[in-house]
Amino acid sequence: MPKLFISLLASALVLALHPLPSSAQEDHPIQLSLVTPIQIVPEDEAVRGVRINLLYGRNTFMTGFDYGLVNHTVRDFLGVGLGLVNLADGDATGVHWGLVNITQGAFEGLQWGGVNSAGRGHGAQIGVVNHLRNHRGLQFGLVNYAERMHGVQVGLVNIIKTGGVLPVMPLVNWSFDEGRRPN
């Protein structure tokens, strides 16, 4: 395993120093990143395939499989992200599995981790602390928070600011008020 890690690191450093020819910059099927900006694909370009971030990697768009310590997408993410920290400044669709999963825009799919947060959501959050402004689906964790929700929360503390059975409920809280259904 250490030899593989050293080989990947050396390859990433060599390739980062030699950018891809301009004709190949439209399609980037693989990204190897030590820490931005030491990465094969420049941070202001998209990756569609596999991205491996040894410490921290950042690109505009990511579609495919994302693996690393800190995976950061400046705009939208589509795929499976496995990392200590998964960040999407835009929207995310798919699975984010990590200690911390944060999507600034809309999240559709599954966030599974210690701390999960998104602007809007459709799907499930499973974690210690789950946070969404507007959610449609399930939150399962110790502390669940939604400003508005169309779905169910299961956990020790469940907070639905607008439309829940009560604003704060132990064990289970829900809201299916069609008039307040999140987008």
Tally the C-alpha atoms within 13 A of residue 72's C-alpha that lie toward its C-beta: 15
- Domain C-terminal end among 25, 60, 84: 84
Q: Which residue has the higher pLDDT, 53 or 164?
A: 53
Please state the pTM of the whole predicted model. Answer: 0.81
The answer on 135 and 109 residing in a single domain is yes
User: Do 53 and 47 touch, CB atoms closer than 8 A?
Assistant: no
Instruction: Write out the two tokens for 80.
Output: 């499976």
Q: What is the pLDDT of residue 12?
A: 34
**pLDDT digit string (tens) for 113-166?**
999 999 999 999 999 999 999 999 999 999 999 999 999 999 999 999 998 889
Q: Domain tally for the chain?
A: 2
Instruction: Write out the two tokens for 69.
Output: 């310590």
The answer on 166 and 99 residing in a single domain is yes
The answer on 172 and 116 residing in a single domain is yes
- CA–CA gap between residue 138 and residue 38 (Å, rounded): 39
User: Do 152 and 172 touch, CB atoms closer than 8 A?
Assistant: yes
- Give the three-state DSSP class for 3: helix
The answer on 183 and 160 residing in a single domain is yes
Residue span of the structural domain in which 33 resides: 1-84
- Res. 5: pLDDT tops 50: no
- Domain C-terminal end among 56, 84, 112: 84
